[in-house]
Amino acid sequence: MKMRDFPSCFGESGVQIADSSSSSSRASQNLVTCLYRTKVHGCSCTITVTWSRSLMGQGLSISIDDDANQSLCRVDIKPWLFSKMKGSKGLEADKSKVYIVWDISAAKFGSGPEPLEGFFVAVVIDHEMVLLLGDLSKEAYRKTNAVPSTSNTMFISKREHIYGKKVYCAKAQFCDNGHVHDIVIECDAVGLKDPSLEIRIDRKRVMQVKHLAWKFRGNQTILVDGLPVEVFWDVHNWLFGSPVGNAVFMFQTCLMPEKSLPWTCPQVSRDSQLSGIGFSLILYAWRNE
């Protein structure tokens, strides 16, 4: 993929980089989506966990899709029902018994909709714990009576909305059992003739883009924990679009053939991820006015 084709696949994934008029309300932007890859009876499937927050409260959605991108099952815990911060749901999925259990009654939250600690969310398929989120693992196993899964569930992608005026912050773990890193994106594009972009990881500058007006889309490889990470950016809306437009950044732990972007075209994304392409972090950066 050539860089001039960078935004060509947007829209299928719900975000138009070159047209901020398609952006939704601030409430709907307050969500975090995480994708996990696992195997059920030897077949690959993807578990999507979406955390959301609105004026009505917290929301949680969990869906399981098979290798053909067909939905096996889905659970939506709507914000107006989330006053019950713990519960369970039993489902049938392709002749398998799925049991989803959650307890967020004592969870601690930061600025985003994803809980930080004091919670668990468990996905059990045929009595195996295929996905366990949170720090209350003992409580999760006691509640579900599940056994550890024989398959290795992998965290493959995270999409998150972040906000700021000049500085935008996020956290990421680029490999299993790796360090959790602080990511800082700094860009003062308002009223400057020659704006620049800087990215720091754990306070160390790893990337700087000067003459941003000419390089508003691009990619560059950096090293994190000795691992090459390809960074893609698109700040067109910040420089030339609507004042409420967003920029998009992606951190991809593996280089992909022809620099294809797994978060722009869903089918390309899914095929790449299921073949073990690695972890990707997608950040939608919104400017606070």
Give the mean pLDDT of the chain. Answer: 79
pLDDT tens, position by position, 29-58: 588 999 999 988 778 899 999 999 888 788
SS3 content of the chain, % helix, strand, coil (to 5): 15, 50, 40
Domains of the chain are: 3-24+162-287 (2.40.128.180), 43-150 (no CATH)
Confidence band of 258 (pLDDT split at 50, 70, 90): very low
Mean pLDDT of 158-163: 92
Q: Are strands 147-148 and 128-134 parallel, antiparallel or unpaired?
A: parallel
Please say whether the beta carbons of 36 and 62 come within 8 A.
no
Length of the chain measured in residues: 289
| pTM, full prediction | 0.79
**Range 227-255 average pLDDT:** 86
Give strand ranges (E) for 41-179.
Answer: 43-54, 57-66, 71-77, 86-93, 96-103, 108-109, 115-117, 120-125, 128-134, 147-148, 154-164, 167-172
pLDDT (tens digit per residue) in 179-210: 889 999 998 766 667 889 999 999 999 999 99
